[in-house]
Amino acid sequence: MTKEPSVKNEKEGLSRRQFLKNSGLVAGGVVGGSLFGGLLTKQFQKQPVVNNQKETANLQEARMFFSRKEDFEILSAATERIFPKNDNGPGAIELAVPFFIDKQLAGSWGINAKEYMKGPFIQTQQVQGNQDKQGPNTETQLPTPTARYQTRLNRGEIFILGLRKLDSVSQEKFGMKFVEAKGDQQDEVLHMFEENKVSLKGVDAKTFFSLLLQSTLEGAYADPLYGGNKDMMGWKMKEYPGPRMGYLGQIEEKEFIVMNQESLKDYQVHG
């Protein structure tokens, strides 16, 4: 399905002329000297980015958040089941998704820096308080139609708790560590979390699973500056070009236009 970068790239040249012509009407006084100016002159002079086939050493692929290697390995195995390598292309591990998640958890998202974290945490307490065989379960919570984020734990803490529970559930069910279990066994464990059939202390298993799912996809497709989407391979699979100045000349185009991938680094360097 993925096509080679096609002749359609020529259209960028066309767009540039049009862009200059149109924006020249007004742009002068408003944007002078900004990155915009640099882009105008440089964006189309350089060659398309050609990715080196050789594996380039990536010094950022080290753990920043997870102290225990074992936790990180469970994370890697779980993300690979969520986003596996197949005919479409690389899976989560090859895309460096686990390193992406590790970095995210070490930062403001992982510590819930911009979320409201004041108590009381009524929902969790009620559920944990009268915990029955089913454990904390959105169905037994206050009558709200969705699981809401109502836990004292931040995302980093939820990941540690959840990953270790993946392992213990796997041990219980299959007598094996999560990373040693077979693919479909790992899936079975993950489904139990997704369906909230596992009980974690202080948070729903489902909440953990949602975070895991969300961050795995983010790691596959976010700008490579965050450490995932390695070599923009996620974007290549999707024929997503990456950030561009604009598509004034192409927006009306009827055919699908395939472009080479460019990252935010490419975009910013011209400033």
Q: Which two tokens stand for residue 196?
A: 């909230």
**CB of 44 vs another protein, minimal distance in Å:** 14
Choices 44-52, 63-71, 80-88, 159-167 (CB under 8 A): range interacting with another protein: 80-88
Q: Which two tokens stand for residue 39?
A: 């882009």
Comparing CB distances to another protein, the nearer of 163 and 222 is 222
Instruction: Return the residue matching tokens 């450490």.
Output: 227
Question: Is residue 45 a contact residue for another protein (CB under 8 A)?
Answer: no
Site for another protein, residues 19 to 38, rule: CB under 8 A: 19, 22-23, 25-27, 29-31, 34-36
Q: Can you tell me which of 84, 134, 173, 195 binds another protein, judged by CB under 8 A?
A: 84
The closest of 67, 201, 59 to 124, measured between CA atoms, is 201
The closest of 173, 138, 156 to 212, measured between CA atoms, is 156
Q: Can you tell me which of 149, 171, 197, 202 binds another protein, judged by CB under 8 A?
A: 149
Question: Is residue 123 a contact residue for another protein (CB under 8 A)?
Answer: yes
Distance from C-alpha of 129 to C-alpha of 132, rounded to nearest angstrom: 9
**CB of 182 vs another protein, minimal distance in Å:** 14
Comparing CB distances to another protein, the nearer of 9 and 22 is 22
**CB of 133 vs another protein, minimal distance in Å:** 25
Give the residue ranges of DSSP H helices in the chain: 10-24, 27-31, 35-42, 69-82, 97-106, 122-129, 155-174, 183-194, 205-221, 233-238, 264-269
Site for another protein, residues 163 to 182, rule: CB under 8 A: none
Choices 49-57, 58-66, 111-119, 156-164 (CB under 8 A): range interacting with another protein: 111-119
What angle do the packed helices 183-194 and 69-82 form, to 10 degrees? 90
